[in-house]
Amino acid sequence: MRQIKIYDTTLRDGTQGEGISLSVIDKLNITKRLDALGVHYIEGGWPGSNPKDMEFFKKAADIKLKNSEIVAFSSTKRAKISPSEDPNLAALLKAGTGTITIFGKTWDMHVTEVLKVSLQENLDMISETVHYLKSKKRKVFYDAEHFFDGYVRNKDYAMETLRAAIKGGCDAIMLCDTNGGMITYELGIIVRAISSEFNDVSLGIHTHNDSGMAVANSIAAVESGCRIVQGTINGYGERCGNADLCVIIPNLQLKMGYRCFSDANLKEITEASRYVSEISNMKQQDNQPFVGKSAFAHKAGVHVNAVMKNPESYEHVKPEVVGNHRRILISELSGKTSIFLKAKDIELDLSKDDPKTKKILKLVQNLENQGYCFEAADASFEILMKKALKKYKSFFSLQGFKVTIEKREDNTLISEATIKVKVNRKEEHTAAEGDGPVNALDNALRKALNKFYPTLAKMHLSDFKVRVLDEKAGTAAKVRVLIQSQDEKSSWGTVGVSENMIEATWQALVDSVEYKLLKDKVNKG
C-alpha cells in the first residue's frame, strides 16, 4: 500500500478557529492522544509568537512519543536582515525540534501589497531562510502559502517561489490553498502539473474549507501526487476550518488503497476526535462522517430492519474499523466491547458476555442521555465502573457545603465555601476563600481532607471548562463541567452534569479528588 504521511496542525492552525483556546496542558494531552493515533508529524505552534507555545515546546521535549515527531512553525526571515539576525528564526531553533516548517509568500499580490517587498527579495528570503535552517541540521518543510491563488494569477512567479525553496534545500513542499477557494478538479490539475515538474521533491497538501471542499481537495491532491497531508482533528481552524483529518484518513485508507496508520491505530480515530472536541470545549458535530455520534445511527424502520439483516445495506464501512459503533436509536444494541476493553485496561475481571457488562453499558447510556460525556473524563468513568461492580469504597462522605459570593461597594468579589465531610467516622468542618466559587470549593474540600490524605497537597486543578448543553433553556439549562487535574506524575479528567453549575462542579471535583486517592492507594500496593 502507498504510504501517506499525516501532518497534524490542530495545535497551531486549529487553535485559530473561533472559540478555541488551549492551555499548555491541553496541548500536551492532545499531543499524547495524536501520538497514540499514529500521526507522523504534530505541529506544536509558533515559538516566539507567544510564551505559551515556547512553554509547550519545552515541556513536550520530555514526552516520549512512539509514533509522532513534533514540528515547530514560523515564517521566512524578515526583509533586509540576515537569517542569523532574525528573532523568529532564533526562537524557532530554540524550540529544539528536528523538523521545522517555514511558510513563505507565493502569490505576487501578497508579496508587493502585504509583505511590501520586491518579488526578487521575497525569493531571496525563501531560499536564504531554508538554507540557514538546513545549515543548522534541521529537516525543513516549506509551506507555499496561497500557492493556488498565486498559481492561477501569476503561474511563473508562483513556480519561482517553489524553486527558491528547493534551491535552499527544503525536504518537502506543502502546496497551500490558504483561502480555501479552490474547486477540486482545478486543484487536481495544478497538483499534477507540479508533481510532474518537481518529481524529485516530496509534495504535501494544506487546504482550508471556505468552499466546503477541503477534504475533497486534499484527497484529489493525494491522487495527483502529494504524499503528505496537513489538516486538523475535526477540521478545526480559522474561518470555515481546515481539512478534517478524521474524514480524510479513513477515506484514503479504507477506500483508496493508501496507508496512513496501522489498522489498530485507525480504530483510535473516533476516540481521538471526541477527546480533542472535549478538550477544545467544542461540541462535536453528531453528523460528522466516520466519527460522529450519528455516523452509524439508524432510526427509520426500513433502515433498522435492513441493517439488522445485513449492515452493508446502510453502512458504507464497518463502524468498528474507525472505533465507532452502530446505534439503533430506539434501542441501543452495541457498545459492550468498549466496556470490556476499558475494564481490561484497569484490570477489572469482566467479560463481554457478563451481565454486569450490559448493566454498566445501560448505566453509561442513561448518563450520556442526561448530558454526561466520558471521552475526556476517564477518571470519572473508572470510578463509575468500580462503583457499578461494587469494587469501590469512597474515601469520604459529604455532610454538606455552602458557597457564598459577596460583592462589596468597592467592586471587590469575595468567594467563600464552608464544608463538612466525614472520614472514617470523623467529622471535619472547615471554610476557605478562593478567587471564585469553584476555587473556594476546591480549597475548602482539600483543606478538610488534607490531614487525612496529605498527598492531596501534590495535586491541583489545571483546567476547568463549562459547556451549556441546551442553549434554548437559557439560565435553566443543564451544564457539563469538565475538570482536568494533575499531580507530579500524571493528569486526569472528570465530569459533572447538573442544572446547577456548582453541583456539576462538585461532582467533577469529588471524582477528581477520589481518583487521586485511588491512584495513590493502587501505587502504594
pLDDT in tens, 482-518: 999 988 888 899 999 999 999 999 999 999 999 999 9
The domain locations on the chain are 2-279, 296-334, 397-436
| E strand intervals along 16-68 | 41-45
141 close to 172: Cβ distance less than 8 angstroms: yes
CA dist 75 and 314 (Å) reads 47
pLDDT score at 525: 54
Higher confidence at residue 15 or residue 374? Answer: 15
Domain at 2-279, CATH from 3.40.50.1970, 3.20.20.70, 3.40.50.800, 1.20.1560.10:
3.20.20.70
Phi and psi at residue 361, in whole multiples of 5°? -60, -45
CA distance 8 to 230: 6
Rounded-to-integer distance, Cα 62 and Cα 430, Å: 39
Distance of CA 173 to the CA centre of its chain: 25
**Topology (CATH) of 296-334:** H-NS DNA Binding Protein (4.10.430)
Q: Is 169 helix (H, G, I), strand (E, B) or coil?
A: coil
Structure confidence at residue 523 (pLDDT):
67
Amino acid identity, position 59: K
Predicted model pTM = 0.71
3 state SS for 195-232: HHHCCCCEEEEEEECCCCCHHHHHHHHHHCCCCEEEEE
Do 330 and 305 form a contact (C-beta atoms < 8 A)?
Answer: no
In 3D space, the residue among 284, 269, 282 whose CA is nearest the CA of residue 322 turns out to be 269
Q: What is the mean pLDDT of residues 48-67?
A: 92
Express each pLDDT in 284-340 by its tens digit: 888 999 999 889 988 776 777 787 788 889 899 999 999 998 876 533 334 566 677
Tell me whether domains 2-279 and 296-334 share a fold. Answer: no
Summarised one tens digit per residue, pLDDT across range 260-288 is 999 999 999 999 999 999 899 898 888 99
Mean per-residue pLDDT, 190-203:
95
Report, in this order, helix, strand and coil percent for the chain, each rounded to 5.
45, 20, 35
